[in-house]
Amino acid sequence: MKLRRLGLTAVTMLLALHLGPSLAGEQKNYSLTASYKEECGSCHVPYPPQLLPADSWRSLMGGLDKHFGSNATLEASVAKEITQFLVVNAGRSGQSQAVGAKAPTLRITETAWFKREHRDGHDGLSASVWQSAAVKTPANCAACHREAGEGNYSERGIRIPRSK
Ligand code: HEC
Ligand code: HEC
């Protein structure tokens, strides 16, 4: 009967979903548009859209006038284009939400994924590294991921600054 084949198709689809590229942190190389890099990569690295769910990006883009203590307002048409880029490439909610949070987090650095991947003792990371003058804030991805400006987080690009 057809049922068996249908079952297999469903399994294959589930697998594809499970292994899909939108899983936070599965990818090491994120492609970023030129306008995104220009508009959202001047004060910090242009963060990969895949590392936050769509709801987070919508809230963040809805409050650019009060953006972490900065005014990051954009022209309406540019904001619209960037929101679309972020939402289309966003990660899946649940995967990237902060632990126990009701509202979507606006910070990649607050997500369960980020904390797990960057826990102390993992690959040379420690409290003193995070507090070092070279790092200052976990949001400073480029302190360790030398090619973060291009969306590249591959292991070869990682250099942990000496803690002081
Ligand atoms: C005028 C400077 C400025 C611009 C332009 C700017 N940001 Fe930010 N952004 C900040 C500051 C300051 C922080 C807080 C950084 C920290 O905590 O160290 C921040 C933090 C963030 C964070 C949270 C980082 C974390 O902790 O995980 C995200 C996400 C973010 N910005 C996205 C964007 C996007 C998307 C744009 C473009 C629409 C943008 N930013 C443009 C200044 C800016
Ligand atoms: C203090 C250094 C440091 C900072 C700052 C940092 N990372 Fe990392 N990151 C690491 C290390 C070390 C790993 C673990 C590499 C591994 O497991 O092979 C890692 C792993 C990752 C990975 C997974 C790569 C892989 O091998 O699968 C991604 C994606 C990533 N970081 C993104 C970010 C983002 C985005 C930021 C900023 C919001 C950031 N990191 C800030 C050190 C840092």
Could you tell which of 30, 67, 78 is best to mutate to test the pocket of ligand 1, judged by most ligand atoms within 8 Å of the CB? 67
Decide: pTM greater than 0.85: yes
Q: How far is CA 26 from CA 19, 23, 50, 72, 73, in A?
A: 9, 6, 10, 29, 31
Beta-bridge partner residues of 145? 158
Dump pLDDT digits (tens) for 136-152: 999 999 999 999 999 99
Q: Say which residue the tokens 């929101």 belong to.
A: 83
Compute the distance from residue 106 Cα to the ligand 2 centre, in Å.
18
107 ligand 1 Cβ < 6 A: yes
Dump pLDDT digits (tens) for 50-99: 999 999 999 999 999 999 999 999 999 999 999 999 999 999 876 556 66
CA triple 115-51-79, angle to 5 deg: 135
pLDDT at 42 over 70: yes
